[in-house]
């Protein structure tokens, strides 16, 4: 008897097979700038296809363990991780996934565009990183904070090292059991140690990558007023001077048993007089400085969402090219093509938002005030919009595999588990929506995003008249609702609508970004970006049924 065995999905080279990534790099860096990054990106893509996929699988199937005491009762708080996790750690350093924007030669070559190259690295590597992208994000956020404050230069050098023997990652300890969103309720205190230093006391409830060499922890200095603003970021060395024993007074109470991100050791930590170094003046409010770190990690979150969506699409496409249904290949079935086409449009939108966030971050870090003003709104929009898209898409990717998508050792269920954390950590969708309301009511508010929307709509009027009209109608309604919200952001009706408004704004910003790229690509004779932009606008802003267009345009879309 011949037994049928379905071939599994074979992954294409994630760099060469991603026309959107390549096109955006050409536009944002110029062709020479893109060429200068080519070798880095090809090298990483090659590793993703081989050793890093294996390391990813190893780390996912060998979760971390915590040993609190040795045989004699000595407290050791040892976290053991898999060989795969260690391989990811080394790869992250070697490929400069954190370091790139801080390297002098990268800054010389690409200027603010070094952040664009970094985003490309994350896009290729993140989905096969066993979520080592999490400590990478926190290390980058910590490095940005240290670079801004000028504190703890030795730690900055280690966070941005490319030698795996030297490089370290960081944790980000904000959440306490009584409040993760509402960190004003934090009770961790900072007190002088009597010899010029500081010690922290309190419990931190979710500490991802607890194997990291350091963390940035929020604490309230003795005597500081209540509220969130007065919290101060402190650098906490995780280990004692020998690099193995826990820092004095630090206990890892247990590791979380989580739905996803299973390779990441996430601990509950008790701080009982643990030595720490203030990163800002402890006599002054420190939360605003901490947000330097948080903006960076939120953009990494958007990159993880977009990267995961593109990789999910790649796996689903590969499967559709092999799987037979109703007498033909799944990839030729009109209904399945429309399903995958919709996912391709959403993946393109998520990529545009994440890429824009990193481009703005690079410019803001180089002193561009307009970019900084737009980033204030674009960062929460990118995080919350891509987080929701990633969860919806991951559910569809599983279904694209039928029953196989629900079976653990195909590796597919992980897509859904790991997507589900993206709208939770680094601020939930609702919390970020409230943050958007706050941003709308201060400084430049929605103006940078609305200007971008108007310019993109005007530019599309001749080339894509129907689409431009749909966008103009949506933008008009949105501008009126944004003005109402900005005028009275605490009004319960406005607060109740914050999520809907933020998502509409996120979708509109995405439309503008896709149209900007389409206009540039049209000059080079490329039609795919215009199709993606049009279908995004009709799907996400026009509420139109575009299934037939998705089927017809499928080969161009993917």
Among 36, 157, 184, 552, binds ligand UCC (CB under 6 A): 184
**291 is a contact residue toward ligand UCC (CB under 6 A):** yes
Report CA-CA distances (Å) from 338 to 341, 342, 533, 555: 5, 6, 16, 11
Q: In this complex, which beta carbon is closest to ligand UCC, that of residue 134 or of residue 474? A: 134
Binding mask 198-237 for ligand FAD (x = CB under 6 A): --------xxx-----------------------------
Q: Which is nearer to ligand FAD, 127 or 267 (CB)?
A: 267
Torsion angles phi and psi, residue 431, rounded to 5: -65, -40
Site for ligand UCC in 103-132 (CB under 6 A): 131
Assess 18 for contact with ligand UCC (CB under 6 A).
Answer: no
Q: Roughly how many angstroms between the first and final C-alpha of the chain, as a whole number?
A: 38
The Cα 297–Cα 293 span in angstroms is 6
Classified as helix, coil or strand, 178 is coil
Would you say how long the chain is, in residues? Answer: 558
Contact between 385 and 510 (Cβ < 8 Å): yes
59 sits near ligand UCC (criterion: CB under 6 A)? no
Cα–Cα distance, 304 to 533 (Å, whole number): 22
Rule CB under 6 A: say whether 288 interacts with ligand UCC: yes
The 3-class secondary structure across 243-299, one letter per residue, is CCCECCCEEEEEECCCCCCCCCCCEEEEEEEEEEEECCCCCCCCHHHHHHHHHHHHH
Listed ranges 56-64, 216-224, 339-347, 424-432: which one lies at the site for ligand UCC (CB under 6 A): 424-432
The whole-angstrom separation of Cα 395 and Cα 141 is 30
* Minimum CB–partner distance for residue 337 and ligand FAD (Å): 35
- Give the binding range for ligand FAD (CB under 6 A) out of 113-121, 147-155, 424-432, 476-484: 424-432
421, 422, 513, 537: which one binds ligand FAD (CB under 6 A): 421
Q: What is the DSSP letter of 494?
A: H
Number of residues that bind ligand UCC (CB under 6 A): 31
Q: Name which of 404 and 424 has its Cβ closer to ligand UCC.
A: 424
Using CB under 6 A as the binding rule, whether residue 431 contacts ligand FAD is answered as yes
CA gap 140, 136 in Å, rounded:
6
Considering the complex, state which of residue 178 and residue 543 has its C-beta at the smaller distance from ligand FAD.
Answer: 178
- Asked whether position 228 contacts ligand UCC by CB under 6 A, the answer is yes
Closest separation in Å from C-beta 215 to ligand FAD? 8
Distance CA(459)–CA(465), nearest Å, equals 10
Which residue bears the tokens 């980058």? 140
Question: Which entry of ligand FAD, ligand UCC, none binds 266, CB below 5 to 8 A by partner kind?
Answer: ligand FAD
DSSP string for 524-553: TT--HHHHHHHHHIIIIIS----HHHHHHH
List contacts with ligand UCC (CB under 6 A).
131, 133-134, 137-138, 172, 174-175, 180-181, 183-184, 208, 228-229, 285, 287-288, 291, 294-295, 297, 300-301, 304, 425-427, 431, 435, 438
List contacts with ligand FAD (CB under 6 A).
171-175, 179-182, 206-208, 258, 261, 266, 421, 424-425, 427-428, 430-431, 434
């Amino acid at each position: 008897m011949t037994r049928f065995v379905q071939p599994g999905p074979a992954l294409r080279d994630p760099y060469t097979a991603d026309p959107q990534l390549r096109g955006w790099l050409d536009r944002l860096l110029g062709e020479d700038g893109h060429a200068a990054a080519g070798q880095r990106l090809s090298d990483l893509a090659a590793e993703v296809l081989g050793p890093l996929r294996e390391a990813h699988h190893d780390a996912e199937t060998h979760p971390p363990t915590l040993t609190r005491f040795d045989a004699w009762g000595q407290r050791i708080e040892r976290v053991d991780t898999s060989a795969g996790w260690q391989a990811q750690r080394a790869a992250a350093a070697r490929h400069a996934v954190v370091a790139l924007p801080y390297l002098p030669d990268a800054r010389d070559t690409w200027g603010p565009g070094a952040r664009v190259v970094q985003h490309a690295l994350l896009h290729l590597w993140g989905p096969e990183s066993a979520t080592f992208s999490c400590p990478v994000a926190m290390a980058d956020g910590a490095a940005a904070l240290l670079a801004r404050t000028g504190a703890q230069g030795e730690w900055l050098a280690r966070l941005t090292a490319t030698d795996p023997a030297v490089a370290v990652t960081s944790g980000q300890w904000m959440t306490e059991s009584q409040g993760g969103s509402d960190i004003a309720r934090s009770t961790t205190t900072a007190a002088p140690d009597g010899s010029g230093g500081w010690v922290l006391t309190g419990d931190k409830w979710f500490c991802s990558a607890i194997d990291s060499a350091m963390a940035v922890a929020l604490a309230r200095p003795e005597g500081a007023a209540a509220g969130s603003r007065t919290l101060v970021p402190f650098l906490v060395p995780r280990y004692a001077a020998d690099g193995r024993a826990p820092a004095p007074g630090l206990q890892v109470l247990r590791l979380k048993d989580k739905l996803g991100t299973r390779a990441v050791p996430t601990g509950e930590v008790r701080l009982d007089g643990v030595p720490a170094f203030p990163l800002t003046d402890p006599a002054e409010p420190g939360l605003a400085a901490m947000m330097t770190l948080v903006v960076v990690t939120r953009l990494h979150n958007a990159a993880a969402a977009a990267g995961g969506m593109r990789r999910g699409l790649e796996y689903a496409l590969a499967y559709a090219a092999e799987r037979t249904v109703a007498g033909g290949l799944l990839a030729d079935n009109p209904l399945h093509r429309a399903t995958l086409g919709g996912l391709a449009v959403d993946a393109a939108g998520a990529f545009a938002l994440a890429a824009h966030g990193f481009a703005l971050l690079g410019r803001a870090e180089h002193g561009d005030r307009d970019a900084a003003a737009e980033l204030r709104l674009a960062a929460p929009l990118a995080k919350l919009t891509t987080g929701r898209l990633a969860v919806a898409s991951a559910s569809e990717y599983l279904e694209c595999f039928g029953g196989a998508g629900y079976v653990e050792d195909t590796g597919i269920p992980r897509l859904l588990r790991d997507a589900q954390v993206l709208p939770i950590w680094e601020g939930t969708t609702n919390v970020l929506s409230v943050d958007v309301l706050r941003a709308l009511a201060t400084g430049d508010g929605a103006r940078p995003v609305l200007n971008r929307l108007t310019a993109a709509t005007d530019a599309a009027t001749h080339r894509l008249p129907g689409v431009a009209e749909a966008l103009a109608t949506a933008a008009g309604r949105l501008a009126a609702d944004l003005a109402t919200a900005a005028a009275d952001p605490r009004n319960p009706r406005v607060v109740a609508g914050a999520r809907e408004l933020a998502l509409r704004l996120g979708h509109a910003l995405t439309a503008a970004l896709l149209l900007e790229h389409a206009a540039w690509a049209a000059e080079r004779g490329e039609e795919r970006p215009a199709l993606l932009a049009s279908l995004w606008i009709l799907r996400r802003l026009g509420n139109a049924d575009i299934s037939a267009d998705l089927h017809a345009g499928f080969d161009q879309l993917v």
